[in-house]
Structure 1
Amino acid sequence: MAHITNTLATVDQLYRRNTLDALPQDLQDTIFYATQCLTQAAGILLRLPQSATAQANVVLARYWLVDSALANEFSDVSAATLFLTAKLGSHPCQPRDICNVYTYLLSPSSPLFQFPSTDPPPNDPSAYYLSEGAYTAFHNRILRLEARIVYSLSFDTHVALPHPLAITYLQALDFLSQPKAKVSQRVVEYLNTALLSPQLLYLTHQPNALAVAAIYSAARDVGAKMPDCAWWEVFDVDREELGFLVVGMRSLEGWVRKQRDEVEGLLGQGMVTRKGVEAEMRKRGLGVGNGGNGAPGPEEEDEEAAMMRKLDERVAMVED
């Protein structure tokens, strides 16, 4: 049964997650949601199967249970986890492909995290041009983070997803007497949405419970008639757990709207950055730290970027 179950987060890990940084809860949730969305967008552009991208989402969430979110740039952590899970699966990605995709998604030309009411950004290829020096720096950061993630997770990167179980359960329920494609798509949508939830549903519940909750929510949406008995108990899920998961899955949309209104400048104007979060914390009068692990600060990163830019300029002068 190990291949269809996951190692769940302990109470101590969930408690220490809130003490690793001085981050307020709303900023912590915003960082998590934005980084998971970035990972999903990168997986789509890299043409990875959803199973690989979903595993990257879960690995990223596990990593931030044991390490500070402010220790590294959020987009770098996303790229490293996606690179790691793709490499362990049947669809490995070239480092340059990952660097190119993330450079585009983080550029002003990317529509990711733009408000729906605003005009789409102009497509400026120079905004997401990746020089050789920038690629080398990005690649090195990914490799360093990959090693750190694997070490922090004690080399346990196994992730069991609830999607196959959900389809099996639907078959047992005769697809709730609904068109197979319609109800199956809605179930998968709920499971994918749960990956983005700051409630860490994939770290606190087993795949069978997530699958049952997605089926229950999808049945309500499509107006399907469910069995009159406590059918979820057949799949080893109790009523209390089912109720919690259903509320968690269905509440994410409202939470995102609320965050966009309350956390101005972080969600809706491009990818959330560590520099932006630190600026928001200073605005609130809070101390800023990097988790105490000796990670390079913004000044060191800016210096490295400046050095790489000068190197690129010299190479261009030599070529001319």
Structure 2
Amino acid sequence: MSKLSLQNAILTFEQLEATPSRKDGIPEELEDALRQLGCEFIQSAGKPGSKFFGASSKMERPQVAMATAQPYYSFQEIGMGALFLASKVQESSCKIRDLINVYHYLIIRYQNMPYKPLEYFGQTFYDMKDSIVIAEMQILKRLGFNVHVQLPYGLMVNYLQVLELTEHKEIPQKAWGYLNDALRTNIYVCYQPPTIACAVIWLAARIYQVKLPTEPPWWSLFEAKLEDILFFQSLPVYHQKKNAGHIMRLYAIELPPNLPLTLEEIKQHINTTQ
């Protein structure tokens, strides 16, 4: 009998190198690009202040909901289902209609097409509604209904306090930004939150040339390993046959335009590029 843990479920690097998408013939580069784009959709869908033709005030989600959704995520339908489920988990539930409106707008904007409101009794609306419900159930099934996601934001703030860095003009904001950007990678399903929190503090401190204590090593106080922290900033992606989806890789590779969004578009894209 398996035991339920309060720690996040972590994938092995071997599992990440043999994902279902990869087994279906989707190249690694396309998989990574779609992951990043899908997470950007999730973030944009709940971003405060975004304008989505009247739906923005109803779809503004707290950051914790968007952050919870992105480790669940795959793309489009699963992305909508992940945000719908995460909003429930974080007790900030949203209406399916508002979620569909926002995603419909995001897809049209990405494809540079003229905006046309959805008909609430049209086939497209009902297809998207059904896909959200199915995606939510698929996520719950695959996760065994264990939807607990511990996020590193609170830990990072506590660690900054211990290191006396909360009053620094740049480091807290920079580290917080790294946490948000890391949601677009595999990091949140590769490492536990203490390691992630230490890694973003390490990166921010290096950027602003702030020396952190090494006697004793500061990361050891927070149950992190130096080799894991250093792994976050290394390039290229592969290192000792481990695919980490590093934070710094996000800033080195530009997301290609006109990515395929539907299953049929992905199949066509693969056939034309082979």
Distance in 1 between residues matched to 2:91 and 2:191, nearest whole Å: 26
Q: 2:200 aligns with which of 209, 214, 219?
A: 214
Distance in 2 between residues matched to 1:268 and 1:284, nearest whole Å: 15
Label 1:53 to 1:277 Cα distance change in 2 as closer, same or farther (>3 A).
same
Note the 1:1-320 alignment, pairs <5 A: 2-3=5-6, 5-10=7-12, 13-17=15-19, 19-44=22-47, 45=50, 46-60=59-73, 74-107=75-108, 110=109, 112=110, 124-126=114-116, 128-133=117-122, 134-175=124-165, 178-179=168-169, 182-197=170-185, 200-229=186-215, 230-247=217-234, 248-255=246-253, 257=254, 260=255, 267-269=256-258, 272-285=261-274
Distance in 1 between residues matched to 2:62 and 2:180, nearest whole Å: 12
Give structure 1 stretches of 5+ with no counterpart. Answer: 65-73, 115-120, 261-266, 286-320
Partner residue in 2 for 1:289: none
- Higher mean alpha-carbon deviation, 204-213 vs 242-251, is at 242-251
Distance in 2 between residues matched to 1:21 and 1:283, nearest whole Å: 16
- Higher mean alpha-carbon deviation, 128-137 vs 230-239, is at 128-137
Larger Rg, first or second structure (1 or 2): 1
Matched pairs, number = 247
Label 1:7 to 1:270 Cα distance change in 2 as closer, same or farther (>3 A).
closer
Deviation at 1:176, TM superposition (A): 6.8
Deviation at 1:56, TM superposition (A): 0.3
Deviation at 1:177, TM superposition (A): 6.0
Q: Could you tell me the TM-score, scaled by structure 1's length?
A: 0.71
Aligned-CA RMSD value: 2.3
Deviation at 1:42, TM superposition (A): 1.0
Distance in 2 between residues matched to 1:273 and 1:131, nearest whole Å: 21
Report SS of the residue matched to 2:60. coil
Label 1:101 to 1:271 Cα distance change in 2 as closer, same or farther (>3 A).
farther
Larger RCO, structures 1/2 (Cα 8 Å, 6+ apart): 1
Distance in 2 between residues matched to 1:103 and 1:194, nearest whole Å: 25
Distance in 2 between residues matched to 1:283 and 1:240, nearest whole Å: 40
Distance in 2 between residues matched to 1:271 and 1:55, nearest whole Å: 25
Report SS of the residue matched to 2:213. coil
Distance in 2 between residues matched to 1:183 and 1:237, nearest whole Å: 19
Alignment deviations for residues 83-115 of structure 1 (CA, whole Å, 9 cap, x no partner):
0110222210011010110111111xx2x5x8x
Give structure 2 stretches of 5+ with no counterpart. Answer: 51-58, 235-245
